[in-house]
Structure 1
C-alpha cells in the first residue's frame, strides 16, 4: 500500500499540480496587492476619494461608518469588497489566459519543429518492383523521344 501511495504521489501530473497550486497562491497574493495597493487607490482618487473596501449597505440597525462595525451590528451587503474581489478575479483570469495562449503557441511551434525534424530524418522507403519497372519504362521512353527528336532534326536539315 505504501508503494502504491508513493507511485500516486510522485506521478508527474501530481507534482505539476502541486507546483501549480503553490505558484497560484503566490500569484493570487501578488494580484491582490496590485489591486488593493495600486489599482483601487487610483480608482478611489478618480471617484473622489471613495474607499471601495468600505462601500456597503447596512440592512439592519443604525448606520455605521465602517464595514467592520456594520457587520457587528447585523446584516450588511459588502458590495465594495465584492467589486475588489471581482477585479482580482478579472486580472487573474486575463493573465492566465494570456499565459496559456502563449504556452500553447510555443507548444504548437515545438510540435511543428519536431515533426519537420522527424520527416527529414526518416529514411526513404525501399523501392518496390513496380517502382523499378516504372523507372525502366520512363528511361526507355526518354531514349525513344530523344532518338525521334534527333531524327526529326536531321530530316529538317535536308
Structure 2
C-alpha cells in the first residue's frame, strides 16, 4: 500500500495539480487584495464614500431603549459583501481566462508544426520509388 501511495504521489499529474492549487491560492490572495484595496474603494467613492461591504438593505432597524442599550438587533440584507465577492470571482475568472488563452496559443503553435516523418515510412517510400523505376 505504501509503494502504491508513493507511485500515486510521484506521478506528474498529482505534483502538477498540487503546484497549481498552491499558485492558485496565492493568486487568489493577489486578486482579493486588488479588489479590496483598489476596485472597491473606487466603487465606494463613486457611491458617496460608503464602503461596498457595508451596503445593506435594512428590513428592521435596531431598537434602543431609553438608556441607549440595544433591545432588538437590526435585521438587514447585507448584499455589499456578496457584491464584493462576485467582483472578486469575476476578476479571478477573467485573469485565469487570459492565462489559459495565452497557454493554448503557445501550445497550438507547437502542435501546428508537422511531425517528422518516421524513418520506417521514409524507407518504405524509397523502396516503393525504386520499384517503380
- TM-score bracket, normalised by the shorter chain, equals 0.7 to 0.9
**Relative contact order: is structure 1 or structure 2 higher (C-alpha 8 Å, sep ≥ 6)?**
2
Structure 1 match to 2:66: none
Task: Summarize the Cα distance change of 1:6–1:76 in structure 2 as closer, same or farther, 3 Å threshold.
Answer: farther
Q: Would the aligned equivalents of 2:62 and 2:74 in 1 still touch at CA under 8 Å? A: no
Q: Which has the higher helix share?
A: 1
Any idea what the Cα deviations from partners look like across 1:96-120, whole Å, max 9, x if unmatched?
A: 111101101100111223x25x149
Task: Summarize the Cα distance change of 1:47–1:58 in structure 2 as closer, same or farther, 3 Å threshold.
Answer: closer
- Report deviation, 1:76: 3.7
What's the C-alpha RMSD, in Å, of the aligned pairs? 2.5
The answer for unaligned runs of 5 or more in structure 2 is 64-71
Any idea what the Cα deviations from partners look like across 1:25-72, whole Å, max 9, x if unmatched?
A: 101100000001001111111222121011123445517xxxxxxxx9
Rg (Cα) greater in structure: 1
- What SS does structure 1 have at the residue aligned with 2:48? coil
Q: In the comparison of the two structures, how many residue pairs are matched?
A: 122
The answer for unaligned runs of 5 or more in structure 1 is 64-71, 133-158
Q: Which has the higher strand share?
A: 2
Mapped partners of 1:109, 1:47: distance in 2: 46
Mapped partners of 1:62, 1:102: distance in 2: 52
